[in-house]
Chains A and B, each alone.
Chain A
Amino acid sequence: MNLSGVAMRNLASRPLRSTLTALGIGVAVASFIALVCTARGVTDSWLRYLADRGTHLIGVRKGTVDFFSGSIEQATVAEVRGMEGVAAVAGELVGIVSLEDRVLVAVGWDRTEYLWDQVPLASGALPAPAQRRGAALGEDLAELLGKGVGDNVRINGRDFVVTGIVRPMGPLSRNSVVMALPTMQDFLERPGKVNILELRVRDSTDKERLAALKQRLNERFPDLRFYETGELAEQNYMARFLRVFTWTVSWIALFMGALVTMNTLLMSVTERTYDLGVLAAIGWPPGRILAMVLIEGVVLGAVGCVVGSLLGLGVLRLLAGLPMLRGIMAPAVSGWVFVEATGAALGVGLVGALYPAWRAVRLNPVDALRYE
C-alpha cells in the first residue's frame, strides 16, 4: 500500500459521496467540452464555408460589430475587381430573416459573380433576376419544412416561391436561403448595398503576396477592413465574443466543480478528524497528510474527467443530430480540447482539495484524537 492507495481507500469508504462529487466535476467538464467544441464548431463551419467557395479575403465595413450590420456601396465591387492580384470579387448581402417560424440566415448574390456559379443544386434553379419573389432553400431546411421546388414559403411575412434546393456547401448553407442580390436589397431595404465582399486572389499559396494585397486593399479602402479568411476567428467581434462567452461559462462550470470538490473533501476531513489525529500521532508529517488529501482531490478530478469527457461527447453528438442546429454548427471535436479538459479537471480537483488539505494539516493531534 502506498499513499495513493490510502487516498483511494478513503474515497472508496464513502462511495456515494465520492461518486456524486466525481459526477459534479464530470458535468463541469462536459459543459466545458460541449461549449468549447460548439463555439469552435461555429467558427470552423464559417471558415470552411468560405474556404469551400474558394474565398481568400473578406472585406467588411470597418468598425462594425458584426458583418451583417455594415453597408458597402455595391460599386465598390468593381473597384476592388480592378486591383492587381484580384482574380474575382463577389458582393453579398447577408441578413437574418424569419422563414415560416424559423430564424435563419439569408444571402443575396449577384448572378454575374463567381459565388452564384458555384452554388450546387439538388433540384430546380436559382431565382431568375426577374423573379423578385423567388428563393432557393438549403437542402436540410427544405427537408425540415417539407418544401420542394414550386412550393410557397413566407419570408419576413411575404410569400416566396421555392425555385431550387441547394446542396450543402459547408454546415452554414444547409439551413440558409439564397436570393438574387436585388431581391435581398429590396427585402432588407438597402438598395445598392452589400455588406460583405468575398475575394479570390490569383496566387493564394503565396502568403507574402496575399498579405501585400490585403495591405493595399486596406490602404485603398480606408473605410473597409480586409481579412484573410483564417483571421476571421481571431479578428471578428462576434467570434471573439463567442470565445469569451464560452470561456466565461466554462470557467463558471469548472469553478462550481471546484466548490463541489471542496465541499466533499471538507466534509470528509471533518469526519476523519480522528483518523487524521491518528496519522499525526504515529508520525505522519503535515506534508504527507496534505499530499494525501490533495491526491483525493486529484483522483476525484480524474474520475470526473473521464465521466465528463464521455458525457460531453454524448451532448455534442446529441446537438449535432438536432435538425434545428444541423445547419448552424457542426461541433469541432479535437484531441486538444480533451487535453485542456483533463488539465482543467485535475486542476479543479487540486484547487478544491487545497483548503480541506490545509484544514487537515492545521488540526491539533491531541484535539483530533479526542474527536468523536
Chain B
Amino acid sequence: MRWPVDECIVAVQGVTKSYDAGRVVALREATLHVGRGEFVAIMGPSGSGKSTLLNMMSGLDAPTVGRVLFEGAEPRGRRAWSRIRARRIGYVFQRFNLLATLNARQNVELAMFGVVAGAGERRRRAEALLERVGLTHRATHRPCELSVGERQRVAIARGLANEPVVLLADEPTGNLDSASSESVLALLTEVHARSGATLVVVTHDAEIAARAARRVRMLDGRIVGAETGGTP
C-alpha cells in the first residue's frame, strides 16, 4: 500500500542493510510506507530481517543503501534521530530493556528527560502512566522484583511517556506467558485505539497479527508480501 506523503508517517525506501563489509545482508531493498494511525504487523521467521527493519524505522541503525523518511523528512545523524525517538517514537522491546538499578517509576521517568521539564512533573506523569498500565502498586519495585508481564507493561508505559505518534514494538509478547501476552496485547491495542498512534509490531504471534490492519511478511531480508484486513 502506498500512502500520500502527508499521510505517511514512516517511509522506508529501498533500504539495504549489510554488515561485515557486505558479507552479511540483513535487509534487501526493503520498501515500506506506514500511514498515520495504522496498525501494522511485521511477520516472518527468525533472521528474516524484521528487527533490522524496525531499527531502520526508528533510526537506531542506519541503512547501507536507501533512505528512511519520518513525517516526510529524512533525519540526518544520531542527534536528529535521538530527538525523534525521544519525542515522536515509543519503543517496546522483547527483552523489556529496563534499567535494573532503577525502579518502575524511575524507568518510565528516564524517557521524559529533555522532553518534560521538572523532576516533579516527570514523576507525576510516570505515576499516571503506571496507573494506566495497572502498576501503581508496583511503582517503587525494581525490574527484578516484577513479573515478566509487569516488566513489559512498565516498558509500554515508558514507550508512551512522551505521547508518541508511532509506537514500535519488537516481539512485545515474545517472552511472556499466554495470560501476560493477552494483557499486553490488550494494552497495546487499547493505546492504539485511544491515542490514534501508529502501531508497528514485529511478531511471530498470529493472534497479534490478526488484529493488525496490515500484515507485512518478510523472508531472508526481503519484504515478500503484505495483506490487509483484520480487527484493529
Mutual binders A and B: yes
Binding site for B on A (CB under 8 A): 1-3, 5-6, 9-10, 12-13, 274-275, 277-286, 288, 364-366, 369
Chain A residues with Cβ under 8 A from B89's Cβ? Answer: 283
B93 interface residue per 8 A CB criterion: yes
CB-CB under 8 A for A288 and B99, given A1-B122, A283-B89, A366-B60: no
> Are A366 and B123 within 8 A (Cβ)?
no
B89 to A, closest residue via Cβ: A283
Distance of B158 from chain A, by nearest CB (Å): 7
Distance of A358 from chain B, by nearest CB (Å): 14
> Are A288 and B60 within 8 A (Cβ)?
no
A287 to B, closest residue via Cβ: B79
Distance of B226 from chain A, by nearest CB (Å): 25
> Are B55 and A280 within 8 A (Cβ)?
no
8 contacts between A and B (CB under 8 A): A1-B109, A281-B97, A283-B87, A283-B111, A283-B114, A284-B82, A364-B61, A369-B60
Q: Name A's interface SS.
A: helix
CB-CB under 8 A for A275 and B99, given A281-B93, A284-B82, A366-B60: yes
B102 interface residue per 8 A CB criterion: yes
Chain A residues with Cβ under 8 A from B158's Cβ? Answer: 282
> Are A10 and B55 within 8 A (Cβ)?
no
Docked complex Cα distance between A283 and B98 (Å): 14
> Are B122 and A286 within 8 A (Cβ)?
no
Give which listed residue, B60, B106, B113, B122, contacts A365 with CB less than 8 A: B60
A278 to B, closest residue via Cβ: B97
Cβ < 8 Å to A, chain B residues 59-91: 60-61, 78-79, 82-87, 89, 91
Chain A residues with Cβ under 8 A from B186's Cβ? Answer: none
CB-CB under 8 A for A278 and B99, given A1-B119, A286-B78, A366-B61: yes
Docked complex Cα distance between A10 and B106 (Å): 13
Give which listed residue, A3, A277, A364, contacts B113 with CB less than 8 A: A3
Docked complex Cα distance between A44 and B123 (Å): 56
> Are A288 and B113 within 8 A (Cβ)?
yes
Binding site for A on B (CB under 8 A): 55, 58, 60-61, 78-79, 82-87, 89, 91, 93, 97-102, 106, 109-111, 113-115, 119, 122-123, 158, 162
Chain B residues with Cβ under 8 A from A3's Cβ? Answer: 113
B82 to A, closest residue via Cβ: A285
Distance of A227 from chain B, by nearest CB (Å): 59
Docked complex Cα distance between A366 and B59 (Å): 10
Chain A residues with Cβ under 8 A from B123's Cβ? Answer: 1
Give which listed residue, A9, A282, A288, A364, contacts B102 with CB less than 8 A: A9
B87 to A, closest residue via Cβ: A283
Docked complex Cα distance between A284 and B97 (Å): 14
Give which listed residue, B55, B98, B102, B114, contacts A366 with CB less than 8 A: B55
Give which listed residue, B58, B60, B113, B162, contacts A284 with CB less than 8 A: B113
Chain A residues with Cβ under 8 A from B100's Cβ? Answer: 13, 275
Docked complex Cα distance between A2 and B110 (Å): 9
Docked complex Cα distance between A275 and B93 (Å): 13
Chain B residues with Cβ under 8 A from A1's Cβ? Answer: 102, 106, 109, 119, 122-123
Distance of B154 from chain A, by nearest CB (Å): 12
Chain A residues with Cβ under 8 A from B102's Cβ? Answer: 1, 6, 9
Chain B residues with Cβ under 8 A from A364's Cβ? Answer: 61
Distance of A296 from chain B, by nearest CB (Å): 12
Chain A residues with Cβ under 8 A from B110's Cβ? Answer: 6, 279, 282, 284
Give which listed residue, B83, B93, B101, contacts A285 with CB less than 8 A: B83
> Are B114 and A285 within 8 A (Cβ)?
yes
Other than A2-B119, A6-B110, give 7 A-B pairs with Cβ distance below 8 A.
A279-B110, A280-B82, A282-B111, A282-B158, A283-B115, A285-B86, A288-B113
Docked complex Cα distance between A146 and B55 (Å): 83
Chain B residues with Cβ under 8 A from A9's Cβ? Answer: 101-102, 106
| Interface hub of A10, A275, A280, A365 (most chain B Cβ within 10 A) | A365
> Are A281 and B91 within 8 A (Cβ)?
yes
Chain B residues with Cβ under 8 A from A284's Cβ? Answer: 82, 86, 110, 113-114
Docked complex Cα distance between A1 and B162 (Å): 16
Docked complex Cα distance between A3 and B102 (Å): 13
Chain B residues with Cβ under 8 A from A278's Cβ? Answer: 97-99
Chain A residues with Cβ under 8 A from B84's Cβ? Answer: 283
Docked complex Cα distance between A5 and B110 (Å): 11
Distance of A10 from chain B, by nearest CB (Å): 7
